[in-house]
């Protein structure tokens, strides 16, 4: 809905960027689908899906300085991770829990992203714990800028901390305490709430007495905004506004992206007990990948043959990543013993 928010920054995205966003959403989707298939074949132990959330995640990632700004994602952020530069192979190595899994070397469940070089912080499976940490990262940015250790305009330095989570997680004390801290200190933090209407099985109406999480922002002196989370450009526009506020030192923002989880919560979940098939099917009608493809076709940036070509390329990419990951070595079992404690720096004993 970029029209509702006037001529926004998304209009300034180049054609290449718009196509890149599509390519990344597509890659995430096809990796996700393959993971489900591999799980159902008994070839992997677990998968947690981002299907349906790709627009929210890719739109958010493209609104910040990718690979430079700090990102503290949650386990549903596969498309975010892909958009931030993680590869198909990275995902597959984690899915197969191989030794060279770059996120946790087989220690965590799949989709627990971590990439120090890309400033992606490792997360746990406990929800909302990352929010005060994101405030801490934003505090560190602020601290360095105020101490004169970095130039506030220097785009090679992280200038905001983005964290994301589901709407159910905003009921946690850690979310409130982290948001409050960021608000009271005016920290450059952006919180993306991927509102898919369910906290596993419990609908939002039983989670909170308000229709929009965005209204919670006011309690913390943060800017709150709700957008259509299935529209990648709308999310990008809202996130862009939030990021710019952070860059300008105007404090934290909350962007609530309304979306829908197209799959059960995880490969261990069965959503038929709490969601009707009609509801799920209806969500498929407005799902973000199809919508964005349609937008690009209408704008002439994609053609049917180009769509097929991208599908084929993506399929090959997924196949190759899977093949390489399956062939990759397992960790030696005794590698489980470490690394518990970081070694002392050189010169300290």
Partner 1 sequence: MAEMTLIEAIRTALDEALAQDERVFVTGEDIGRRGGVFRATQGLYEKYGARRVMDSPLTEMGIIGVGIGAALADLRPVCEIQFADFIHPAFNQIVGEAARMYYRSAGGWQVPLVIRVPYGAVPGGGLYHCQSVEALFAHIPGLKIVVPSTPRDARRLLHGAILDPNPVLFLETKYGYRQIRGEVPEQDAPLLPGPARIAREGGDLSLFAWGLMAFYAEIAAERAAQEDGLDVEVVDLRTLHPLDQESVLGSLRKTGKALVVHEDTRTMGFGAEIAALLVDEAFEYLDGPVKRLTAPDVPAAPFNRGMFDYFLPGPDDIFAAIRELAAY
By CB under 8 A, tell whether 105 contacts partner 1.
yes
CA–CA gap between residue 258 and residue 9 (Å, rounded): 20
By CB under 8 A, tell whether 162 contacts partner 1.
no
Piece in contact with partner 1 (CB under 8 A), picked from 113-121, 221-229, 262-270, 284-292: 113-121
Cα→Cα distances 293→81, 83, 290, 299, 311, Å: 21, 17, 5, 10, 12
Closer residue to partner 1 in complex, CB, 300/339? 339
7 CA to centre of own chain: 25
Q: Which of residues 118-137 bind partner 1 (CB under 8 A)?
A: 121-122, 124, 126, 129, 131-137
By CB under 8 A, tell whether 180 contacts partner 1.
yes
Cα→Cα distances 159→177, 205, 316, Å: 22, 36, 36
Cα→Cα distances 258→34, 56, 138, 204, Å: 25, 8, 25, 12
Interacting residues of 335 by C-beta distance below 8 A, sequence separation 6+: 99, 105
Piece in contact with partner 1 (CB under 8 A), picked from 203-211, 288-296, 311-319, 340-348: 340-348
By CB under 8 A, tell whether 65 contacts partner 1.
no
Q: Under rule CB under 8 A, how many of the chain's residues touch partner 1? A: 51
Closer residue to partner 1 in complex, CB, 304/345? 345
CA–CA gap between residue 323 and residue 259 (Å, rounded): 32
Question: Using CB under 8 A, which of 5, 46, 65, 143 touches partner 1?
Answer: 143
Question: Using CB under 8 A, which of 101, 228, 256, 287 touches partner 1?
Answer: 101
CA–CA gap between residue 123 and residue 87 (Å, rounded): 18
Q: What's the distance, Cα to Cα, between the start and end of the chain in Å?
A: 59
DSSP string, 141-192: HHHHHHTTSS-TT-TTS---EEEEEESGGGGSHHHHHHHHHHHHTT--EEEE
Closer residue to partner 1 in complex, CB, 99/299? 99
By CB under 8 A, tell whether 103 contacts partner 1.
yes
Closer residue to partner 1 in complex, CB, 108/314? 108
Closer residue to partner 1 in complex, CB, 281/342? 342
Interacting residues of 161 by C-beta distance below 8 A, sequence separation 6+: 69, 70, 71, 72, 134, 135, 137, 138, 141, 187, 188, 189, 190
By CB under 8 A, tell whether 141 contacts partner 1.
yes
CA–CA gap between residue 24 and residue 278 (Å, rounded): 29
Question: Using CB under 8 A, which of 209, 281, 327, 341 touches partner 1?
Answer: 341
CA–CA gap between residue 195 and residue 310 (Å, rounded): 29
Piece in contact with partner 1 (CB under 8 A), picked from 254-262, 272-280, 321-329, 335-343: 335-343
By CB under 8 A, tell whether 74 contacts partner 1.
no
Rg of the chain's alpha carbons, rounded to an integer?
20
By CB under 8 A, tell whether 173 contacts partner 1.
yes
By CB under 8 A, tell whether 190 contacts partner 1.
no
CA–CA gap between residue 73 and residue 85 (Å, rounded): 14
CB of 176 to partner 1, least distance (A): 9
CA–CA gap between residue 144 and residue 140 (Å, rounded): 6
By CB under 8 A, tell whether 27 contacts partner 1.
no
By CB under 8 A, tell whether 62 contacts partner 1.
no
CA–CA gap between residue 297 and residue 301 (Å, rounded): 6
Question: Using CB under 8 A, which of 19, 87, 171, 174 touches partner 1?
Answer: 174
Piece in contact with partner 1 (CB under 8 A), picked from 40-48, 104-112, 307-315, 316-324: 104-112
CB of 198 to partner 1, least distance (A): 23
> Footprint of partner 1 on this chain (CB under 8 A)?
70, 72, 101, 103-105, 107-108, 112, 114-116, 121-122, 124, 126, 129, 131-141, 143, 146-147, 149, 158, 161, 173-174, 177-178, 180-181, 184, 338-345, 348-349
């Amino acid at each position: 809905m970029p029209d509702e928010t006037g001529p926004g920054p998304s209009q300034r995205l180049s054609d290449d960027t718009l196509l890149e966003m599509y390519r990344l959403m597509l890659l995430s989707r096809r990796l996700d689908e393959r993971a489900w298939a591999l799980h159902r074949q008994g070839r992997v132990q677990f998968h947690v899906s981002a299907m349906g959330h790709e627009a929210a995640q890719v739109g958010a990632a493209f609104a910040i300085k990718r690979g430079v700004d700090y990102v503290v994602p949650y386990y549903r952020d596969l498309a975010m991770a892909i958009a931030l530069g993680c590869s198909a192979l990275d995902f597959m190595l984690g899915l197969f829990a191989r030794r060279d899994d770059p996120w946790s070397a087989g220690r965590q469940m799949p989709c627990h992203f971590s990439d120090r070089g890309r400033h992606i912080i490792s997360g746990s499976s406990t929800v909302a714990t990352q929010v005060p940490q994101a405030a801490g990262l934003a505090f560190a940015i602020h601290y360095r800028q105020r101490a004169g250790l970095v130039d506030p305009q220097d785009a090679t330095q992280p200038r905001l901390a983005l964290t994301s989570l589901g709407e159910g997680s905003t009921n946690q004390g850690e979310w409130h305490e982290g948001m409050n801290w960021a608000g009271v200190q005016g920290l450059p933090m952006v919180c993306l709430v991927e509102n898919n209407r369910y906290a596993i099985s419990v609908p939002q109406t039983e989670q909170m007495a308000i229709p929009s999480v965005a209204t919670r922002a006011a309690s913390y002196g943060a800017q709150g905004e709700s957008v259509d989370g299935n529209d990648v450009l709308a999310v990008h526009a809202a996130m862009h506004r939030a990021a710019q506020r952070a860059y300008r030192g105007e404090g934290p923002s909350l962007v609530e992206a309304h979306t829908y989880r197209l799959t059960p919560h995880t490969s261990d979940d069965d959503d038929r007990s709490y969601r009707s098939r009609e509801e799920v099917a209806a969500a498929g009608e407005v799902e973000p990948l199809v919508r964005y493809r349609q937008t690009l076709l209408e704008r002439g940036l994609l053609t049917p043959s180009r769509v097929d070509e991208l599908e084929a390329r993506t399929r090959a990419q997924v196949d190759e990543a899977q093949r390489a990951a399956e062939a990759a070595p397992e960790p030696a079992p005794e590698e489980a013993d470490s690394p518990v404690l970081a070694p002392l720096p050189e010169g300290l004993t």
